[in-house]
Amino acid sequence: MTYVVTEACIKCKYMDCVEVCPVDCFYEGDNMLVINPDECIDCGVCEPECPAEAILPDTEDGLAKWLEVNAKYAEVWPNITEKGEPPADADDFKDVENKFEKFFSPEPPKSA
Ligand code: SF4
Ligand code: SF4
């Protein structure tokens, strides 16, 4: 198994998770992060750190799509190990639904 970052991260991107991961397996996109399933050691440390509750174990139902998104974009987005500045409007998007359809960006971070 692995942990995966899910929809709640999109446009929130608080990045509290990256600081605690012992194997630095988070990767940064324009408006969300993903976990590399091949590198994650399933320690679970990141899960309670996420203010948006976006990180889930892939043993939960309905996460096949998110496992795919995490695996795919961990290959193309840059690694992130230090917390950056979250978007100024992150809190406005915390409980918004269907963020993948509305806002998902396949682009790497603009600063990269
Ligand atoms: S802490 Fe949660 S919302 Fe923030 S970047 Fe990590 S997974 Fe995304
Ligand atoms: S479960 Fe552990 S190894 Fe996997 S992403 Fe979270 S902190 Fe990193």
Say which CATH class 3-80 falls into.
alpha beta
Reported as a single tens digit per residue, the pLDDT across 35-80 is 999 999 999 999 999 999 999 999 999 999 999 999 999 999 999 9
**Smallest-distance ligand from the CA of 16:** 1
* CA–CA gap between residue 55 and residue 9 (Å, rounded): 8
* CA–CA gap between residue 98 and residue 11 (Å, rounded): 12
Reported as a single tens digit per residue, the pLDDT across 16-39 is 999 999 999 999 999 999 999 999
- 65 C-alpha to center of ligand 1: Å? 18
Nearest residue by C-alpha to atom 5 in ligand 2: 40
Instruction: Examine the pLDDT at 111 and tell me if it is beyond 80.
Output: no
| Domain definitions of the chain by residue range | 3-80
Cβ(42) to ligand 2 under 6 A?
yes
